[in-house]
Structure 1
Amino acid sequence: QQLCFSLFIVFLVVCWSVPLKSIEVELEVKDHVATVVSTLNYQNQEDKPLEAVFVFPLPGDAAVCHFSAKIGQTQIVAEVKEKQQAREDYDDALSSGQQAFLLEESEQSPDIFTLSVGSLPPGESASIRLEYITELAVQADDGLRFSLPAVLNPRYEPQAATVQVTSVPASQIPYSLSFSARVSSPRPVSKVESNCSLDPLQYLNKEQTQATVKLAGGHKFDRDVELLIYYKDAHQPTAVVEAGQASAKPGSLMGDPVVMLSLYPEFPESVMSSLSSCGEFVFLMDRSGSMSCSTSHSKPKETRIGSARDTLLLLLKSLPMGCYFNVYSFGSSYQHIFPKSVEYSDQTLEEAVKKVEEMTANLGGTEILQPLKHIYNQPCIPKQPRQLFVFTDGEVSNTKEVINLVKKNSGSHRCFSFGIGEGASSALINGLAKKGRGHAQFITGADRMQTKVMQSLRFALQPAVVDISIKWDLPKQVSATVLSPPITTLFQGQRSLVYAQLTGKSSEGAQGSVTVNYKLAGQPSKTQLHFSLKPAEDTGLTVHRLGARVLIRSLEMEEREDRGEKGEAVKEKVVELSVKSGVSSSFTAFIAVNKSDGKPIEGPLIHRNVPTPSKCFLNQLIQSSDCITHSFIYNNKNKDKSSYQDPDQQDPFLQLVSLQKASGCWLLDPALAAALGKTSEELDQSKPASVGCLWATILALIWLHASKTDSKGEWELLSLKAVSWLRAQNAPCVECVDAANTLLGCKVQRDVLGL
């Protein structure tokens, strides 16, 4: 009955005259910083005045810095106020017949915003302009990722309720999207890729440092729009100094210059070539009902749980001998394979793989807090650093509470997080990694999850960087106040950003430098960057607002940790900083009121919720009802679909991976023959007489190097384990490699294998 009622409500939503008619998005990317301007066009086609409410996603680390409305020829620029005051001003305006517009950030999750468009008269149109700034994250293949969120899935609350998000199937979204992007960088733009169809990239100069691109015609706003931007020589440290605001007081954040440093530490090859062989690896898998949704628009038959399960198999097989591990899964409740982390061996690996292969999306809601608490309550194993891997589609509402828990335990572990599918909360995924001293990845579109996850495993196996500190070398009259939280993590080839306020006057042509000191594998190391103190041109207040956003987020976290008098003082500081910088926070809101001399709008307001597109609509309806119904339907509907796969259709690569032993070797059996596309007789007949137990392992290695060259990042750790095992056998491999090449029709050399 609850499900039928939800369907009826959705039917009503679709049949309403939705006042939002179109969204126009202009993206400007300068190096790794994106400025996004969205224009939302509304029209009231009903015979009564209405209030439209739109709950929508934004990147969790975005700095929302402008909000305005245009009604006819009247332009109203919003101001930032304390949230309760802004709400009261909005209500007062509506009650007096004025038009008002309110934009506020969710108090629970910084990637959800609510836009209220009030008192739009019959036949009236309004254009809402929203601007935000965000940094672009570096991906495993060195691309910079920009995502324009379209999908906002309901966020599950542990109190058996859901955040009220009006969603409909993507095909029924009644408004259109136009999207264009301009990219510029000191380095040439190599290419721009997307999960959506794009018109050809247009270069604006012969150096190819500027380019434009836009969505191809006929695009449906049925998925997140993701761009991957590639520059030549992307890993170059940079510094941008931005002049302060002329009208702001010197000595204040907005009045002084602010510098943004992008640092790319490079570690010695001698250190990076030796990966750790110890650690406690804890894997936390989301098994809520929404994980049975498709991973992407381009692969409707590939489920999130299926892709995550395959990836977890690859991770388990890639772990080093000598480590410890455990696997947790969660939904409305949580489970673990072992009572506590166990030593990695053929027996424990086989038991874990069997349990993982049986995992389905049948555990109800998305309550991640309790399994995290249980993991943190387990005592750490001496000399086995804890590494936590979290796989989730991120549909939780208590984001800040979860991140705060991870931060409190950041001294005992590193957290690597993976957002699966469209609609994953960027605030949750990025927050887990940042506060857990790890790394975040998003798997959407046509991504292979394995590539990104294996990069994170490599990070986890890198020697930990400790004792990180920053030293500034500036002219005597200039001082730096760092706005960013302390750097707690450095990974090879990954960017670290530092924002700092520069107080004092510098002479023409003055120079400064910053040095990041740290210890790697017990040895002191450093990364240094020299930069000019001369402000860059045409940056507006981008760097200041990003710096303010970083400081606001740090203070908000501090306020959550102390709800007493100190917390109130921090909250007041956040409100003051938000108002002066014009950057949104969880304690403030943008409010715009049309105070022109027009006639008051009369008549009762009609309330209209503007829907967002849904990628997994059935699941959202089920989550709106109770967890028992949710779990029952998914247990029965998806049990076979998500767990069974015809062996004849299984990916040969994953088939081969599943056969590798914990030590790194393969056994000569019919399953291996099938994975290699041969018969057992062919393998036996081609085996050199003196080879012994090496034959199966060398066959597997030859096949990987010859057949999976483009995905080496996925199987490289498996290969290293196999080569290590082969070397330990102290047996000649020349004849074996030659015979394997002949059988498989390959030409892989021994030095390529590492033998």
Structure 2
Amino acid sequence: MTVPITPIRPDEVLPVPDAGFGALETEKGNLPLESVDVRASISALTAGVEVVQGFRNPHDVPLEATYVFPLPPRAAVTAFRMEADGHVVEGVLKERGQARADYTQALREGRRAAIAEEDRPDVFAIRVGNIVPGERVTVHLDLSQPLPYEDGAAEFRFPLVVAPRYIPGAPLDGAAAGAGVEPDTDAVPDASRITPPVLLPGFPSPVRLGLSATVDPAGLDITEIQSSLHDVDREGDTLTVRPGERLDRDFVLRFRYAESTSLTLTPDAEGEEGTFALTVLPPEVERRRTPRDVVLLLDRSGSMSGWKMVAARRAAARIVDTLTAGDRFAVISFDHVAEQPFPGLAEATDRTRYRAIEHLARLEARGGTEMLQPLETALALLADDGRDRVLVMVTDGQVGNEDQIIERVGARLTGDVRVHTVGIDQAVNAGFLGRLALLGGGRCELVESEDRLDAAMEHIHRRIGAPLVTDVTLHPEGLTVSDVTHVGSLFPGVPLTAHGRYRAASAQASISVRGHAAAPWSQTVTARETANPAVRSIWARAELRRLEDRYTIGEHTLEKRIVETSLAFGVLCRFTAFVAVDARVVGDGPPVHEVIQPVETPAGWETASSVHLTAAGGAMPMMAQASLGFSAPPPPPAAPGGPPPMPAPMSPPMPAPRSAPAPKPGSRLRRAFGAGGADRMMPHPGREQAPQTDLSGIVPLLQGELTRLARAKGRPDDERRRYLADLASRLRVAAQMVGGHHELTALASELEWAERADFDLARGWAKTEELLTRLAGGAPEPKPFWKR
């Protein structure tokens, strides 16, 4: 069968004329990274990928090389190994602090070592230490990833560059957590770990890229393959990127084939347990139109310049055009300030829609990316629970304070506000945008070119309305399931997918999927057993991501569970790291020279120096050093007598990568992993907010919730579950108002999962009644708010 390969690459992203092979020559020698090879094996809706990075030491002294690079945000990294001087050293997955201790100790003893760490869902770092002069060292990463599928098409997207990110906040004192070009700040305490230097435009390509993908349809009928952004050749079932391509944009393959519905069971090597993967196509159900409140957030920061700003304006205007007279909407454009064409929510009349489009047409890229305040403003506008509430954000997502944003708005996204994100870039921050969409029960669209915009926006338009099927639950038959990934709702043209663990499966095992549309709906899927190990890894990565998001929002007791899950399933996360230590001694001590590999300027971006990516008070990148790939000079020495950093639980004290000045009295300890020994994910500054009132001040709120709870007691179970899930977000707000309340926070954390099939509704309802009754009746009658 002959399948055509259709290029959809934009004209402006052609190979640079002077692109070539080999390393970049500088006054101080070659850069350490010589090659990156990506080998993907795609089977149906799953991809297994091996990433091979080749390093060479061109100096006459031992070298430590650091490379900050992206991986797909839903990928599960399952193996790591190092090859040098004819020897292969397998990496071991350990708790992150312990892995760093082993790596540092090996370098001190003159042994060769490598460590792989995750800093964001899609940003990773590899350090290779004690590379002897003239030596080549190769590191291998194995990973598995699910492929998104909708409307008859699947997509394999592999990112190749970490784009510069806006870093807000005030610089922190003390040693930097990493060797990047931006200082750590109170909003992004590990900024120096995610900001590698950027090559100045005009340099020849310093890294040789090899990328191939073998496609196995696994019984499905492929009708077309599209390659976006890169030129490819085909030989049999393998597609290969042509020589000379650069690591400056995502590699994207899309292929269309017949739709499918399946339930696969992948047993573990031992015992009766395993992992299941479920895919269900949505039913053809006639929808009822509900009046909508829609808030459109548009990023107009400096990193959105060029085609991205044009595409963002078009995307926003199309969303405005879909609104009808029964809808209300608001448009908020933001960089370091937020602007609106009219205050609040307005009726979607012809006049207001014209004013909004006129405002959008005047927007140009400028300034920094202060995203938190506009997000909070948008959520405050979406307060009418009698309407269908939708938030759409159009951005490239290039911010460094993702955790701070998720922390501040995450609890408010667990109710009925659906959040759709449109990522416009050729190297988009997909991990962050995906987390927002997941928390908001919406959709994340990635748009890498203007050619792709039409199809992406069509998907968003179809999903701004109410979902086809809500309150979806899973009912297994012949097996017991647990730890199921978020199910959510069914939307037009989008199959429902779920992964989880199972045990004691019978020969006739199946899962019945049930929900509500115009009437109750269900569909039963029969299971079949497979031997695909990627299913287990993909579930584990999704479970770890869910736990990490809950940790970010405030559940710090989950740290131990996250580490245990990561180690049990052999999947890398932000609390663990792969470390490979060679038993042979190759030097007299730690490496003399440290180099961080510079990355390409993302395709379509202007000169890096013209894009403002640092908040007021932060330092701009040192472009001369960035272009050469050498670290900034170490900070000044500390004043004597300062207290040493406090080691985190479960992590032994760690030496800093360079001499670490003691923190000033009263300064906050940074959360950066391993900076001065603080290897733990510490809470962000700002979580410990000053109380707005005492317990008596929130008694009216709790009494109101208790009244609503009593009214909802006779409703159907699915409505009661949805009510408890909504209540969770409100209880978190009440706890914050009093400066933190353990019982309210704990109950909110439990109720967030009320819509899951394994949630004990009777127990959760009784527990909520008991706590609200006790707190609302146990305090004196407060004064009215207006008299305080």
On whether the aligned pair clears a TM of 0.5, the verdict is yes
Equivalence for 1:149: 159
* Matched residue SS, 1:168: coil
Equivalence for 2:549: 557
1:357 to 1:160, Cα distance in 2 relative to 1, 3 A = farther
1:98 to 94, 111, 131: 111
1:558 to 1:627, Cα distance in 2 relative to 1, 3 A = closer
Equivalence for 2:530: 536
1:463 to 1:617, Cα distance in 2 relative to 1, 3 A = closer
1:580 to 1:14, Cα distance in 2 relative to 1, 3 A = farther
1:57 to 70, 79, 93: 70
1:250-649 aligned within 5 A? 250=271, 256-268=273-285, 271-272=286-287, 276=289, 278-293=291-306, 303-362=307-366, 364-378=367-381, 380-381=383-384, 383-404=386-407, 405-445=409-449, 447-463=451-467, 465-474=469-478, 478-485=479-486, 487-504=487-504, 506=506, 510-521=507-518, 523-532=519-528, 535-537=529-531, 539=532, 541-563=533-555, 567-568=556-557, 570-596=558-584, 598-602=585-589, 604-615=591-602, 616=605, 618-619=607-608, 622-623=611-612, 627=616
What is the aligned-residue RMSD (CA, Å)?
2.4
2:219 to 170, 173, 186: 186
Q: Once the two structures are superposed, what CA deviation does each residue of 1:299-341 show, in whole Å capped at 9, x if it has no partner?
A: xxxx211111122222212212211011001112222222211
Counterpart-to-counterpart distance in 1, 2:311 and 2:420: 17
- 1:167 and 1:617 in contact (8 A); partners too: no
Equivalence for 1:654: none
Counterpart-to-counterpart distance in 1, 2:477 and 2:234: 42
* Matched residue SS, 1:548: helix
2:206 to 154, 157, 174: 174
Cα displacement (A) at 1:82: 0.9
Query: What letter corresponds to residue 611 of structure 1 in structure 2?
Result: P
- 1:79 and 1:582 in contact (8 A); partners too: no
Q: Once the two structures are superposed, what CA deviation does each residue of 1:607-646 show, in whole Å capped at 9, x if it has no partner?
A: 1111111122524564355559999xxxxxxxxxxxxxxx
1:310 to 1:243, Cα distance in 2 relative to 1, 3 A = same
- 2:299 and 2:333 in contact (8 A); partners too: yes
* Matched residue SS, 2:104: helix
Equivalence for 1:296: none
Equivalence for 1:239: 263
Query: What letter corresponds to residue 191 of structure 1 in structure 2?
Result: E
Cα displacement (A) at 1:515: 1.3
Counterpart-to-counterpart distance in 2, 1:144 and 1:29: 11
2:241 to 211, 215, 219: 215
Q: Once the two structures are superposed, what CA deviation does each residue of 1:571-618 show, in whole Å capped at 9, x if it has no partner?
A: 11111111121101111111111013x443457521111111112252
Q: Once the two structures are superposed, what CA deviation does each residue of 1:67-109 show, in whole Å capped at 9, x if it has no partner?
A: 1101122111111111111111111111111111011111xx2
* Matched residue SS, 2:199: strand
- 1:288 and 1:366 in contact (8 A); partners too: yes
1:435 to 1:305, Cα distance in 2 relative to 1, 3 A = same
Query: What letter corresponds to residue 218 of structure 1 in structure 2?
Result: G
1:266 to 1:97, Cα distance in 2 relative to 1, 3 A = same
Cα displacement (A) at 1:464: 5.5
Cα displacement (A) at 1:462: 3.9
Structure 1 unaligned spans of 5+: 1-10, 204-210, 294-302, 632-755
Query: What letter corresponds to residue 536 of structure 1 in structure 2?
Result: T
Cα displacement (A) at 1:465: 3.1
Cα displacement (A) at 1:376: 1.7
The structure whose Rg is larger is 1
Counterpart-to-counterpart distance in 2, 1:169 and 1:489: 46
* Matched residue SS, 2:493: coil
1:482 to 1:14, Cα distance in 2 relative to 1, 3 A = farther
1:15 to 1:577, Cα distance in 2 relative to 1, 3 A = same
Equivalence for 1:81: 94
Aligned residues: percent identity?
26
1:126 to 137, 160, 176: 137
* Matched residue SS, 2:607: helix
Equivalence for 2:647: none
Counterpart-to-counterpart distance in 2, 1:625 and 1:531: 52
* Matched residue SS, 2:612: helix
1:622 to 1:308, Cα distance in 2 relative to 1, 3 A = closer
TM-score, normalised via structure 1 length = 0.72
1:327 to 1:628, Cα distance in 2 relative to 1, 3 A = farther
Cα displacement (A) at 1:261: 1.2
1:505 to 1:241, Cα distance in 2 relative to 1, 3 A = closer
* Matched residue SS, 2:161: coil
Cα displacement (A) at 1:496: 2.1
Equivalence for 1:225: 251
Equivalence for 1:673: none
Query: What letter corresponds to residue 67 of structure 2 in structure 1?
Result: F
* Matched residue SS, 1:447: helix
TM-score, normalised via structure 2 length = 0.69
Structure 2 unaligned spans of 5+: 1-23, 172-181, 183-190, 621-788
Q: Once the two structures are superposed, what CA deviation does each residue of 1:200-255 show, in whole Å capped at 9, x if it has no partner?
A: 5444xxxxxxx221112332333221111222x1x211222212124xxx47xxxx
Counterpart-to-counterpart distance in 2, 1:419 and 1:114: 23
Counterpart-to-counterpart distance in 1, 2:224 and 2:325: 40
Q: Once the two structures are superposed, what CA deviation does each residue of 1:701-732 show, in whole Å capped at 9, x if it has no partner?
A: xxxxxxxxxxxxxxxxxxxxxxxxxxxxxxxx
Query: What letter corresponds to residue 196 of structure 2 in structure 1?
Result: V
Counterpart-to-counterpart distance in 1, 2:362 and 2:617: 21
Q: Once the two structures are superposed, what CA deviation does each residue of 1:28-76 show, in whole Å capped at 9, x if it has no partner?
A: 1111111110111111121111000001111111111111101122111
Q: Once the two structures are superposed, what CA deviation does each residue of 1:261-281 show, in whole Å capped at 9, x if it has no partner?
A: 12222223xx04x6x262011
Query: What letter corresponds to residue 162 of structure 2 in structure 1?
Result: L
- 1:29 and 1:182 in contact (8 A); partners too: yes
Query: What letter corresponds to residue 525 of structure 1 in structure 2?
Result: W
Equivalence for 2:646: none
Query: What letter corresponds to residue 114 of structure 2 in structure 1?
Result: F
Query: What letter corresponds to residue 499 of structure 1 in structure 2?
Result: H
1:383 to 1:418, Cα distance in 2 relative to 1, 3 A = same
* Matched residue SS, 2:354: helix
Counterpart-to-counterpart distance in 2, 1:198 and 1:310: 27
